[in-house]
Structure 1
């Protein structure tokens, strides 16, 4: 995914990758990365947990607008141990 993101970035479109394996992201070096240390296959969170999934999407979109190229952002959320709130207007 990171290799594709670099090609898309080269065409002038900003990208962000949501990953659960930081060592892979460090090797591939996507343009911008949101790292969540969650189980593989759950990049947006728990199935059916709408608030958690929207929080991840909000963090990814915010990072897309603010992160520097090559940056790996880590919000520090723990799997199934956080209380998530929807950003204002995401209701």
Structure 2
């Protein structure tokens, strides 16, 4: 599961990074990002450890802990993804789990 999360996070970041370079692909890229975040949400929702917590830091620098299940739901909302920089935090969490697992 962790490798799938890491790969999906990488893909989301790459498409997001290249979004500015490809105006003609903008609608396709945005559609892809939405689908990829929904896919990531599904991976987290289907995985074990729904009560395990992921620490996220909002734009104001305030750290908060959310369960994996809560983060899976938050990944369905663009505002939450941006507000909490969820992709990076989920990626960091998955990398630490993969390394320790």
Fold match (TM-score > 0.5): no
More helix by share: 2
Ranked by relative contact order (alpha carbons within 8 Å, sequence separation 6 or more), the top structure is 2
